[in-house]
């Protein structure tokens, strides 16, 4: 599964619907086997106006799509990553009418790889403690665009936005355990403070 995610902050808000249509059409011509293009929901932070996510069978297909996509977004601010979706988990493969959320994050350059692996392992345990996370993938970025050199893509699916805003945020495994990797007051911090937290409506699971 070779994936590409873009968070687009539009220079002209009126372009949202036509651009979304263009992206979906482009994905069809490039035979993306999964496509999600939708306006971001309130509560997103540095998450853009439009969330666009695509999956392909090969890196070559994905990269060709990425090259064709770039001119369409040339006038907009874009954060995003190209990555190979890491095996995650599916508690709800038939999830419908839910919410897809993606977090782009940047681990400091030079961080000890063993520490990075510890961060990844703890993050991947979040669904174990927080069942509101129905499906998930934590992947390392192969390429990044935007405000930071994004290193990781943390994707989740929820039954509704309440699962993200409630259990995900308020469970102690998040704020009392995982967040220390992000908190500039904690000596364990390895993640840059600039994050892209973006979510949108989801018709059917894409993870």
Partner 1 sequence: MTADDPTAAAPMVHAIDEIVAKPGEGKALLDDYLARYAPGARARGMVLEQCLVSPPMWLDDQSNTLVFRWSLAGPGAWWQMRFVGGNNPDIGAWWAEVDARAVSRRRFFAAAPDDIESLCDV
Query: Smaller CB distance to partner 1: residue 34 or 182?
Result: 182
Residue 125 interacting with partner 1 (CB under 8 A): no
Specify the stretch interacting with partner 1 by CB under 8 A; choose among 18-26, 85-93, 153-161, 167-175: 167-175
Which of 17, 125, 186, 204: binder of partner 1 (CB under 8 A)? 186
Residue 185 interacting with partner 1 (CB under 8 A): yes
Phi/psi at 203 (5° precision): -75, -45
Query: Which of 79, 115, 104, 102 has the alpha carbon at shortest distance from 189?
Result: 115
In this structure, the strands spanning 77-84 and 96-105 are: unpaired
Residues 47 and 40: beta-carbon distance below 8 Å = yes
The distance of closest approach from Cβ of residue 79 to partner 1 in the complex, given in angstroms and rounded to an integer, is 18
The distance of closest approach from Cβ of residue 126 to partner 1 in the complex, given in angstroms and rounded to an integer, is 13
The distance of closest approach from Cβ of residue 163 to partner 1 in the complex, given in angstroms and rounded to an integer, is 10
- Name the maximum alpha-carbon separation found in the chain: 48
Query: Which of 156, 162, 166 has the alpha carbon at shortest distance from 91?
Result: 156
Q: Interface with partner 1 by CB under 8 A: which residues?
A: 166-167, 169-172, 175-176, 179-180, 182-187, 193
């Amino acid at each position: 599964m070779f994936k590409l995610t873009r968070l687009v902050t539009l220079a002209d808000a009126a372009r949202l619907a036509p651009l979304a249509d263009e992206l979906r059409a482009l994905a069809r011509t490039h035979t993306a086997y999964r496509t999600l293009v939708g306006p971001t929901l309130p509560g997103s932070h540095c998450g853009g106006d439009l969330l666009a996510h695509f999956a392909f069978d090969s890196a070559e297909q994905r990269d060709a799509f990425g090259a064709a996509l770039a001119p369409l977004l040339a006038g907009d601010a874009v954060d995003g990553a190209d990555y190979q979706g890491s095996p995650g988990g599916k508690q709800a493969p038939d999830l419908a009418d839910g919410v897809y959320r993606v977090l782009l994050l940047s681990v400091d350059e030079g961080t000890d790889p063993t520490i990075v692996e510890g961060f990844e392992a703890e993050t991947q345990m979040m669904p174990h403690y927080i069942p509101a996370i129905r499906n998930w993938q934590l992947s390392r970025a192969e390429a990044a665009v935007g405000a930071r050199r994004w290193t990781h893509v943390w994707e989740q699916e929820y039954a509704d936005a309440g699962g993200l805003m409630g259990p995900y945020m308020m469970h102690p495994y998040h704020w009392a355990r995982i967040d220390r990797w992000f908190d500039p007051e904690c000596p364990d911090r390895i993640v840059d403070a600039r994050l892209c937290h973006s979510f949108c409506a989801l018709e059917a699971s894409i993870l």
